[in-house]
Amino acid sequence: GAGVSQSPSNKVTEKGKDVELRCDPISGHTALYWYRQSLGQGLEFLIYFQGNSAPDKSGLPSDRFSAERTGGSVSTLTIQRTQQEDSAVYLCASSLGGTGGNEQFFGPGTRLTVL
Amino acid sequence: QQPVQSPQAVILREGEDAVINCSSSKALYSVHWYRQKHGEAPVFLMILLKGGEQKGHEKISASFNEKKQQSSLYLTASQLSYSGTYFCGTAGGTASKLTFGTGTRLQVTL
């Protein structure tokens, strides 16, 4: 069966431009998560969706970052007016139900480079 | 609050054992362990839940001390394929986010 997919796999953009990153979770997974991983660093939580609602968006670094999920499936992470410090790998994960007792399946990530 | 992992890095010869620790300052509902190889996505290893339930791969062994809010991952008879960075993730409740530790880099050599 298909795993979590993300697109694009790589994105190079200029400072100040907006970018959209897409995540397709595993079919039937109600929970979806976005993380950011800078080079050689750990996984930084950004936002968590349960269905289409986001009970926890505490990790979004600034109001330039937003995310939505539609139809309980695909999610889009949007970064407006990108800055060089936004450069990182953005990982999406999905799980059956809530995180506490369910494993997360990660996508391959989108590597974002802001010049 | 980010859980603290120790050691930060370890080098093993093939066949040796290692223990990776994860400690939290908050009460925990569950601890998750993932392994990430260079340039790849993290892969699930195990979940340890409050009350003693565990879900994971048969060859992986771990413990969860709820009172101390600590977990340990036991890697025995290490193989080259065990190399990677190990992350623990902690959850405070059933619907909580996972907060990941800083990672432990493991290298297994011949």
Q: Which residue out of B28, B46, B57, B97 would a mutagenesis test of the A interface target, given it has the greatest number of A Cβ atoms within 10 Å?
A: B97
Q: Is A13 at the interface with chain B, CB within 8 A?
A: no
| Cα–Cα distance for residue pair B10/B108, rounded to 1 Å | 9
Residue A1 has what pLDDT?
54
**What tokens were used for A58?**
């505490």
**Confidence at residue B93, expressed as pLDDT on a 0 to 100 scale:** 82
pLDDT of residue A100: 76
Residues 6+ apart with CB under 8 A from A29: A94, A95, A96, A105
Name the stretches of chain B with pLDDT < 50: none
Residue B11 and residue B109 in contact, taking contact as beta carbons nearer than 8 Å: yes
Contact status of A30 with chain B (Cβ, < 8 Å): no
Residue whose C-alpha is closest to residue A85's, from A62, A66, A67, A68: A62
Determine the straight-line distance between the first and last CA of chain A, rounded to whole angstroms: 37
Render pLDDT for A79-94 as a digit per residue (tens, 0 to 9).
999 999 999 999 999 9
Which residues of B are less than 8 Å from A100 in CB distance? 29-30, 49, 91, 93-96
pLDDT at B92: 86
The partner residues of A22 in beta bridges, in order of sequence, read: A7, A76
pLDDT for A69 beyond 60: yes
Print burial letters for A56-81: b (CB count within 10 Å at least 16), e (below 16). bbebbeeeebebebeebbebebebee
